[in-house]
Structure 1
Amino acid sequence: MSGMGAGEVRESYRTLDRWLKAAPADLLSSRSRQAELFFRRMGVTFAVYGDAESNERLIPFDVVPRIIAANEWRLLERGLKQRVGALNAFLKDIYGPQECIRAGVIPADIVLTNPQYRPEMQGRRPPGDVWCHIAGIDLVRTGEDGFQVLEDNARTPSGVSYMLENREMMMRLFPDLFAEHRIHPVDTYTDTLLRTLQSGAPGSAGDDPRIVVLTPGPFNSAYYEHSFLADKLGVELVEGTDLFVNDDTVFMRTTEGPQKVDVIYRRIDDDFIDPLTFRPDSAVGVPGLMAAYLAGNVTLANAVGTGVADDKCVYTYMPEIVRFFTGEEPILKNIPTWRCREPEALKEVLGQLDQLVVKEVGGSGGYGMLVGPAATKAEIETFRAKLIAHPEEFIAQPTLSLSTAPTLDGGTLQPRHVDLRPFVLTSPAGVRVTPGGLTRVALKAGSLVVNSSQGGGTKDTWVLDD
């Protein structure tokens, strides 16, 4: 945008720039207040663990859209399909012949001793042979390098409800601005998701498989999304106690008696889905679920064991994984990353801790990480001790000069750092990418942390049509 210290207005933003110049000075601020009121009424919230002041908060919503040009999106879409195709092939292989390990593409210990590796799935193939039905790939744009992958979310990626709600909000608040752009719709996501889940049902399910969304319950931080998606899909939202297993078949308790369940879109991590197989102290899972799953009588989306693919150390091998399984060069590049498990890399990282971002390989949500330039000397020294004691548990990346997007702050537009999480759906018929995704924005000046649990907000993402 003009006047934002980044030179000329991007081509994709020119219509918005003209519109803003012609709009009343307080228009964005008043629409922003309206949006907050709407979201509050609708109950669009998320919970924050360990927050004594408030169990639930609104995720701040910025009314200035993030706009992506059609040609840029086409390249992104190709890259996302390639990457998620490779992720699924990788999962199929590590739980099958393990050719990528034998070929030296990735060290055996990184896979086989990974906390998310599930030996129960070795030699197994999920119904439809799809492992990761729903993926959320986090992207950042850095300087002139275009979009790069920051991390892969292959377990239970969240945020799609905010993508859909943000679009609905923008259409309600800015119909005239919409009329001046040709924007790809995102509301087809739930129809595509429903077809993805249906097509992955076990062969015994027939033409109309019964699908449920399995939630840990109202105290989960993403519970709003679970109920939102169940509603949009037109399926039941269930907790573990609503389901039971009999003769390796999953049933749902209803007022009309037990009903067979064919597909479970589960929003519970592997550790908790079945107390008979995994954590015996889980109160949110379904006893016997794994037996039904391994018998091929129910589909779990995503499959058990997909967590290996979103491990941050495995991420560092994704370029090699893409080449091995597709025979192509990766369209989307990784952020340069040091594997602290390697002595030379560890030495380099320890020498410049105050300049790097250090992450736990199994961490998520912006927790358990060191942002060197923003850390105190004491925090850096504490992390140094952790790195020396357990280097294999960490990776390090440069502090990125992330691209910014115009964001409303105090009534004026200011540059704020953003990332993008597109949602990628895989079925036996192929890979589909929703045009857009969830743009997360760091609302504090200079901040690089966009996670909602750490004070970040969201924007609507517009992908322009030709």
Structure 2
Amino acid sequence: MHMLYETGSFYDEMLEPCGTPKTHYETVYRALHQLPADELRRKHETAQNRFLRQGVTFTVYNDNAGAERTMPFDPIPIIVPSAQWARIEQGMIQRVSALNCFLEDVYGEQFIVRDGIIPEKLVLDNPAYRPEVAGHSCAPRNSRIFLAGIDLIRDDFGEYRVLEDNLRNPSGIAYVYENRNVMRHVFPELFRSQQIMSIEHQFGVLHETMLNHAPAGFRGPGLPRAVLLTPGPYNSAYYDHAFLARQMGIELVEGGDLAVLDGYVYERTIRGLQRVDIIYRRIDDDFLDPLAFRPDSMIGVPGLFDAHCRGNVSILNGLGNGIADHKGVYAYVPDMIRYYLNEEPIIPNVPTLLLNDPEQREYVFERMDRLVIKNVGASGGYDMLIGPHATEEEIVLFREKMMANPEQYIAQPTVKLSRAPTLHQHDDRVYPCHIDLRVFAMRGGDHTHVLPGGLSRVALKEGSLVVNSSQGGGGKDTWVLQERGGLVC
């Protein structure tokens, strides 16, 4: 394998600007170079076929039709040295703690709004804010976050920055494990002489963290009973749902499997009704309970919200968490860290401009060809303008949308996302692709645990900045190097 490309002005994960491998990549770099091209191709094909045989898929919906696809996989791993990972870990613990404080506050006394740290309109008029949840202190142990997925990027100086927070239903843990399993099976030689932090025991930690969210009304005996509530097999992340339930040893249920009686939730089983104490839901707020939210929901559980408010069942992640995912609220997270924790952010945001501010809006209109503009309510790379790659016609059309609804958009500078060597799927060529990293943090009470590594997503289309699988992106295995003597994979 030969890496013929130049790093240019981008930060490269593996290579120095002169083309030599970074110290922590030297072993993998040498091992890859020793593989003949046909052997590397065969291993790559074996990896893709393994994903296909095991049914590691996601669903893309276009024009009201769903297409199930195998997750594209690239065999060249992302490697993070232990010192860098320690900083990421500290930054994630800090950020999740501040966001949990924000959620507790914004559905309680709203001190952060009263003190003028975040605009009242951005909270109360936000479509992601759930007024039904306000005033209900039913989050167990004051924890509204069970599992967070924080998306990180590296700029052209190699500094990590937070791109996005995902506190509703972050997906992707299944792919973290499947990427590791495939790498270990197909490329065992790349693991030799490597001290890589293990992820094998992490489901035990996730399960224990989940059980720490038992409702106030739980009295035993034994452990609380938990289930994972899915919309069903037609959901785009159903593989993730089924994988998580299986690995944690909990039931995978749909809305019709649950019933609320006298303020308690029960699962219908062949042994009769079984009391449920914790629901790890992968259904959005709107569809959880037709009596409290959307009455047309066919996938929810009537009476679930009332049972939750009585303290008889915990719902993870917390209802109303979407307000913390909002791209406009994202701009204020560094202020939240200072306000709630009296600390400076360890990992900063990408600088963000709010278009509901007239001065910032005018600034953006004058520089649209140099900025990235996002719809605050969209995800997966949809309704987004990447100015340097856009045509004049696209810019004009996007400006009209922004003028009609400015509070619906934010703008950010075009960050030179870091790149990593990627094996071309068709011609054995190694080429640079932009990447990001979704880090998963589990929170139980006052303790936050960060899964070592995470989901490295790669924009497989040359020159693309969009890493989402629905837009043609793929995944890489992520290795966190371990100090000697630690638990390795």
TM-score (norm 2): 0.93
1:246 corresponds to 2:247: no
- Three-state SS of the structure 1 residue aligned to 2:227 is strand
Unaligned runs of 5+ in 1: none
Q: 1:102 aligns with which of 108, 114, 119?
A: 114
Q: Secondary structure at the match of 1:64?
A: strand
Q: Is the 8 A contact 1:28 1:63 kept in 2?
A: no
Q: 4+ residue runs of structure 1 moved beyond 3 angstroms? A: 1-4, 51-54
Match of 1:65 in 2: 77
In the alignment, structure 2 segments of 5+ residues that lack a partner are 8-16, 484-489
Task: Say whether residues 1:225 and 2:240 are aligned partners.
Answer: yes
Counterpart-to-counterpart distance in 1, 2:251 and 2:99: 29
Between the aligned partners of 2:298 and 2:153, the Cα distance in structure 1 is 37
Q: What is the SS of the residue equivalent to 1:231?
A: helix
Q: 1:77 aligns with which of 89, 105, 109?
A: 89
Q: 1:375 deviation in Å?
A: 2.2
Give 1:353 deviation, angstroms: 1.3
Counterpart of 1:269 in structure 2: which amino acid? D
The equivalences for 1:306-321 within 5 A come to 306-321=321-336
Pairwise CA distance, 1:99: 1.1
How far apart, in 2, do the equivalents of 1:145 and 1:175 lie? Answer: 29
Q: Which moved more, 1:34-43 or 1:44-53?
A: 44-53
Per-residue deviation at 1:189? Answer: 2.5
Q: Separation in 2 of the partners of 1:128 and 1:394?
A: 35
* Of 447, 456, 462, the match for 1:445: 462
The correspondence for 2:477, drawn from 453, 460, 463, is 460
1:174 aligns with 2:175: no
**Alignment correspondent of 1:366:** 381
With 252-261 and 201-210 compared, the bigger mean Cα shift is at 201-210
State the partner residue of 2:270. 255
Q: Counterparts in 2 of 1:412-451, with a 5 A limit?
A: 412-451=429-468
- Residue from 131, 134, 152 that aligns with 2:147: 134
1:214–1:264 CA contact under 8 A, matched in 2: yes
Identical-residue share of aligned pairs (%): 50
Partner Cα distance (1:244, 1:419) in 2: 41
SS of structure 2 residue aligned to 1:366: coil
RMSD: 1.4
Q: Map 1:401-420 onto structure 2 (within 5 A).
A: 401-409=416-424, 410-420=427-437
Deviations 1:142-180 (A, max 9, x none): 011511000000100001100011011111112222122
1:406-446 Cα distance to aligned partner (Å, 9 max, x none): 11013122111000001000001400000100000000111
**Amino acid aligned to 1:9:** P
Contact 2:3 2:431 in 1 (8 A): no
Contact map agreement 1:2 1:9 (CA 8 A) in 2: no
By how many angstroms is 1:229 displaced? Answer: 0.8
Aligned length: 466
Q: Which position in structure 2 is the counterpart of 1:343?
A: 358
Contact 1:70 1:465 in 2 (8 A): yes
Distance 1:147 1:187 in 2: 26
**Structure 2 letter corresponding to 1:175:** P
Tell me the equivalent position of 1:165: 178
Q: Whole-Å Cα distance in 2 between the matches of residues 167 and 114 of structure 1?
A: 39
Structure 2: distance between partners of 1:27 and 1:402: 31
Q: What do residues 55-95 of structure 1 show as CA deviations (whole Å, max 9, x unaligned)?
A: 20011000111111111101111011000110001101111
CA gap of 1:53–1:210, structure 2 versus 1, over 3 A, is: closer
Indicate yes or no: 2:313 matched with 1:293.
Answer: no
Q: CA deviation at 1:4?
A: 3.9
Pairwise CA distance, 1:332: 0.6
| Aligned residue in 2 for 1:333 | 348
1:379 aligned partner: 394
Q: Per-residue displacement from partner, 1:74-121 (whole Å, max 9, x unpaired)?
A: 111101100011000110111111111111110111111111111122
Deviations 1:244-276 (A, max 9, x none): 101110011111111110101100110110111
